[in-house]
Amino acid sequence: MESVQYYSNTGFDRAPHMREGRNGATLYHAVCLWQGKFFFSTSGTPYITGTIVQLTAFTEFFFLGMEDDREIICLDLSRRKPEEILPWLGEGDFLDLRHVVHDIDRKEAAILAYAKALAEWNANHVFCGVCGSRTESRERGHHRICTDKTCAKIIYPRIDPAVIVLVEYRVGNDGPRCLLNRVKTGDSYRCSTFAGFVEVGESLENAVIREMKEEINVDVESMTYVSSQPWPFPSSVMIGFRATVSSPEFQVDNVEIKDAAWYSAKEIKELVASGKLELSRSDSIARFLIESWVADNLSL
């Protein structure tokens, strides 16, 4: 099973050494963001192409990387009116990335997710958190600096790490089972794994133990790292684990988790096929954690 998660920039050259200034490229591919949505032409491409000279008309643009001797950049057009920009962009529309993610290839989805995260971080850090003065973009969007010379605080993009956990129980005559968070939707259930943010001064392992105790009152006996996923909605990284518990007993917290149930790999496969169980979105690491666990345990 493919272990590289959606929105991962595998194989894309971020070219960090080129962020300080121009790198000799004269052409660019740009993705255009407007109030959280990306422009797609009627042909389905999220890119517009032009010359670097044309960028002098824009102040909110961020360098993403290089591909085929072209700069890949993000133009944040959120402060402009649609009637000002649509004639320049041509025929097309602004669409939500998560609504079109399966209509574009995974590399494009990863670049758009990266662009969205960087643009939103810049938009949310226009003022210094120390003195309140305005900040200016540096390294073409990859850090900002306070304009008050007595402060001169340098601000770098931050991400919010979160653990996401598939809980399993492997003792007993029924074979291995996994515990899934579930929500009733008509005649079926929509299910997912358990997740929570890593707290200040906490390791990833400690976060797994604490979150599973808080949400479903289980004691984690052991855990294994599985995979990670950038999740720029708005600025997280999801770190996936499998965690084994020594008892099938659990209790939901009735705050974040309202219902949960144990399932064998065979049950999940059959219930999904019958339409009685719906897995997490296919672009999520939660879906990957469930499907990979089913694949590993179906014959047990």
- pLDDT of 59 strictly over 70: no
Checking if the pLDDT of 25 tops 70, the result is no
pLDDT score of 60 more than 90? no
Q: Looking at residues 104-114, what average pLDDT do you find?
A: 93
Average pLDDT rounded to a whole number, residues 132-141: 96
pTM: 0.90
Domains annotated on the chain, with CATH = 16-124 (3.90.79), 126-157 (no CATH), 160-297 (3.90.79.10)
CB 51, CB 172: distance < 8 Å: no
Residues 6+ apart with CB under 8 A from 187: 276
In this model, does residue 48 exceed pLDDT 80?
A: yes
pLDDT band at 184 (very low <50, low <70, confident <90, very high): very high
Share of the chain above pLDDT 70, in %: 94
pLDDT above 60 (res 134): yes
pLDDT band of residue 299 (cuts 50, 70, 90) is confident
pLDDT score recorded for residue 82: 79
Find out whether the peptide bond into 234 is cis, omega within 30 degrees of 0.
yes
Residue-wise burial string across 271-290, b where 16 or more C-beta atoms lie within 10 A, e elsewhere? bbeeeebbbbeebbbbbbbb
The answer on pLDDT for 183 being more than 60 is: yes
Q: How confident is the model at residue 100 (pLDDT cuts 50, 70, 90)?
A: very high
Question: Which residue in 216, 187, 214 sits closest to 202, CA to CA?
Answer: 214
Q: Where are the alpha helices (DSSP H) in 154-256?
A: 204-216
Over residues 31-35, mean pLDDT: 93
For residue 16, pLDDT beyond 80: yes
Q: What is the pLDDT of residue 211?
A: 98
DSSP letter for each residue of the chain: ---SPTT--TT-B--GGGSSS--S--EEEEEEEETTEEEEETTS--EEEEEGGGGGG-SSEEEEEEETTEEEEEEE-TTS-HHHHHHHH-SEEEE-HHHHGGGS-HHHHHHHHHHHHHHHHHHTTSB-TTT--BEEEEGGGTEEEES-TTT--EE----EEEEEEEEEE--STT--EEEEEEEEETTEEEEE-EEEEPPTT--HHHHHHHHHHHHH---EEEEEEEEEEEETTTTEEEEEEEEEES-S-----SSS---EEEE-HHHHHHHHHHTSEEPSPTTSHHHHHHHHHHHHHTT-
Q: Is residue 52 over pLDDT 60?
A: no
- What is the bridge-based pairing of β-strands 47-51 and 27-34? antiparallel
> How far apart (Å, rounded) are the C-alpha atoms in residues 43 and 66?
23
pLDDT of res. 61: 84
Confidence grade of residue 118 (pLDDT, cut at 50, 70, 90): very high
Q: Which two tokens stand for residue 107?
A: 């590399």
Structure tokens belonging to residue 52: 């670097």
Distance CA 236, CA 250 (A): 28
Question: How large is the C-alpha radius of gyration of the chain?
Answer: 22
* pLDDT on residue 56: 54
Task: Give mean pLDDT, residues 107-123.
Answer: 95
Mean pLDDT for the chain overall: 92
How confident is the model over 248-286, as pLDDT tens digits? 999 999 999 999 999 999 999 999 999 999 999 999 999
Of the ranges 75-84, 86-95, 209-218, the best mean pLDDT one: 209-218
Burial class of residue 68 (count of CB atoms within 10 Å of its CB; 0-12, 13-18, 19+) = exposed
**pLDDT recorded at residue 174:** 74
8 A C-beta contact, residue 162 and residue 232: no
Percent of the chain with pLDDT over 90: 76
- Give 211-229 pLDDT, tens digit per residue: 999 999 999 999 999 999 9
